[in-house]
């Protein structure tokens, strides 16, 4: 029996990044510093506030996987000011509402990995994952093949979410 091949060429960038020496550049800090619309699009930043930003995860667990992060480079929730912590929560709620409206998400997995041993890919900059879910979204390829299928290009998802946010800012 021939095993089918599923190509995910974007994944190689992520794999290679795991083996590079730490460049000291934090992609979340870089995203927080983006100024113009094109830079924001390339960094996948959907919106930002004084204290937080919401962006699409470039290496998603599932379609619509978003990150919510403080703009300040802080490693732990305990380092956040009260205003930063409250805004992180508010932007998480706003991102959930956006995903409900824009991609009809039916449920969500929300989590924070603190520290490298907990799976944090960026242990120096705390961030929250919002993974939308749908009934039946785990199919045979996910269960048997241990493969995640992302059904839409990130650039298309950006356009959908940015338009939904622009038409009804949260």
All domains in the chain, ordered by first residue: 24-167 (3.30.428.10)
Helices (H), 62-109: 82-103
| pLDDT > 90? residue 39 | yes
| pLDDT > 70? residue 50 | yes
Mean pLDDT of the chain: 85
Render pLDDT for 113-160 as a digit per residue (tens, 0 to 9).
Answer: 888 888 777 889 999 999 999 887 765 455 455 566 666 788 888 888
| pLDDT > 60? residue 52 | yes
Q: What is the largest CA-CA distance in the chain?
A: 58
Two tokens at 2? 């021939």
Identify the band that residue 22 occupies on the pLDDT scale cut at 50, 70 and 90.
low
Rounded mean pLDDT, 79-91: 98
Rounded Cα–Cα distance for residues 130 and 89 (Å): 12
pLDDT value of residue 15: 63
Across the beta sheet with 107-111, the strand order is 45-48, 52-56, 66-70, 128-133, 107-111
Rounded mean pLDDT, 14-36: 75
H or E element that contains 163 = helix 154-167
Angle at 69 between CA 67 and CA 133, to 5 degrees: 25
| pLDDT > 70? residue 2 | no
pTM: 0.76
| pLDDT > 90? residue 104 | yes
Whole-number percent of the chain with pLDDT over 70? 78
pLDDT value of residue 145: 57
CB 26 within 8 A of CB 124: yes
The larger pLDDT score, comparing residue 37 to residue 14, is at: 37
Rounded mean pLDDT, 15-37: 77
pLDDT value of residue 62: 84
Rounded mean pLDDT, 96-103: 96
Whole-number percent of the chain with pLDDT over 90? 52
């Amino acid at each position: 029996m021939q095993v089918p091949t599923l190509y995910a060429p974007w994944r190689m960038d992520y794999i290679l990044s795991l083996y590079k020496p730490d460049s000291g550049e934090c992609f979340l800090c870089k995203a927080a510093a983006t100024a113009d619309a094109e830079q924001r699009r390339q960094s996948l930043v959907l919106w930002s506030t004084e204290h937080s930003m919401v962006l699409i995860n470039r290496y998603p667990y599932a379609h619509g996987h978003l990150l919510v992060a403080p703009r300040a480079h802080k490693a732990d929730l305990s380092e956040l000011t009260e205003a930063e912590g409250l805004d992180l929560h508010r932007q998480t709620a706003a991102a959930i509402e956006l995903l409900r409206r824009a991609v009809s998400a039916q449920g969500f997995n929300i989590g924070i990995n603190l520290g490298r041993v907990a799976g944090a890919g960026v242990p120096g900059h705390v961030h929250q994952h919002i993974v939308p879910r749908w009934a039946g979204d785990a199919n045979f390829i996910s269960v048997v093949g241990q493969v995640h299928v992302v059904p839409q290009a990130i650039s298309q998802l950006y356009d959908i979410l940015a338009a939904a946010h622009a038409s009804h800012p949260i």
